[in-house]
A = this chain, B = another copy of it.
Amino acid sequence: MSGQTELTHTKRQRSVRKQGGSLSKSIYEEIRERICLLRYPPGDVLREAELAEEFGVSRTPIRQVFQKLEIDGLVETRNGVGTIVTGFDFVQMKDVYELRLKLAELIAQLSPKPCSDFHRSGMEQLLNRAAQLKGSRDTGEFWRINHERQKIIASLIGNTALRDMYDQFYYQTGRVWFQMVDVMWDDQVEALCAELRDLIRAMELGDTQAVAYVERNHLSFYMGLIGRFISGELPKADSSGSNWFVDARE
């Protein structure tokens, strides 16, 4: 009908676009990672227009991403203000850890998949990478290693509903975990290596049940750590001293 064709778009920077899965799934993952790695700390205000420009899209896809993140419990959108990164509530996180513990026990009970050499060799590679973290303090690499560990474990879960939930909670607790990593680096590197070693040992036996219990026990370890954070026994923040820990949700 109308003849206006040479408007503005179709020549923007297509930085992240269409590389990953369906659409702006990659944007979602990118922003989620920024939140989990505390690059967007709790209380930070994200503006739709700002991120829209950065990723070279309009506000619409960014809003979609925000909505998903809100369902994940990572942000909270308030009219007229912005989209705010939620503070993490150590008490609620303890709830989640408590549940994750129980879910880990279920991995091997609900039609587990057999673990193969493929899984074991994957873990061995991760162990190699993890061993190099001792001096470097490369938090991004730490995150990525843990990520892939999670992916391998998830692939052993036969029950699809359980697997989805297991992933969901992993991202929900990601920030708390990362916080602990940041405060006590050396201990955490050691803990990760120990976890990987235990997993490899269990996988050598081809015993998914054993893998599940290793996960359970390491989750238990982190849960204990959270308890010590709550009681004030451990320092809570490392930079800027602001307390992100009082949850702002009403």
Instruction: State whether B110 touches A162 (Cβ < 8 A).
Output: no
Contacts A95-B159, A96-B161, A99-B165 given; 15 further ones with Cβ under 8 A?
A67-B67, A68-B71, A71-B71, A92-B160, A95-B110, A95-B160, A95-B161, A95-B162, A98-B110, A98-B159, A98-B161, A99-B159, A99-B161, A161-B169, A161-B172
Chain B residue, CB-CB nearest to A91: B160
For chain A, the bracket of interface size reads: 20 to 34
A51 at the interface (CB under 8 A from B): no
A-B contacts, 26 listed (Cβ < 8 Å):
A64-B67, A67-B67, A67-B68, A68-B71, A71-B71, A92-B160, A92-B161, A95-B110, A95-B159, A95-B160, A95-B161, A96-B161, A98-B110, A98-B159, A99-B106, A99-B110, A99-B159, A99-B161, A99-B162, A99-B165, A102-B106, A102-B109, A102-B110, A161-B169, A161-B172, A165-B165
For chain A, residues 144 to 170, give those with C-beta under 8 angstroms from any C-beta of chain B.
Answer: 159-162, 165, 169
- What residues of B have a CB within 8 angstroms of the CB of A99 in the complex? 106, 110, 159, 161-162, 165
A68 to B165, CA, bound (A): 16
Interface of A is mostly: helix
Chain B, residue nearest A97 (CB): B161
CA–CA, A59 to B64, complex, Å? 14
Interfacial chain B residues near A159, Cβ < 8 Å:
95, 98-99
Interface residues of A (CB under 8 A from B): 64, 67-68, 71, 92, 95-96, 98-99, 102, 106, 109-110, 159-162, 165, 169, 172
User: Within the complex, what minimum Cβ distance (angstroms) separates A34 from chain B?
Assistant: 21
> Can you name the residue of chain B whose Cβ is closest to the Cβ of A98?
B110
A11 to chain B, nearest CB (A): 23
The 5 closest A-B pairs by CB, nearest first: A96-B161, A99-B161, A95-B159, A95-B161, A99-B162
Complexed CA–CA distance, A159 and B71 (Å): 18
Docked Cα-Cα span, A142 to B52, in Å, equals 46
CB distance from A46 to the nearest CB of B (A): 18
Query: Which residue from chain B places its CB closest to the CB of A89 in the assembled complex?
Result: B160
In angstroms, Cα B96 to Cα A165, docked, is 11
Determine how close the nearest CB of chain B comes to the CB of A112; give it in whole angstroms.
12
Q: In the complex, which residue of chain B has the Cβ closest to the Cβ of A172?
A: B161
Chain B residue with Cβ nearest A159: B95
C-alpha gap A71/B161 in the complex (Å): 13
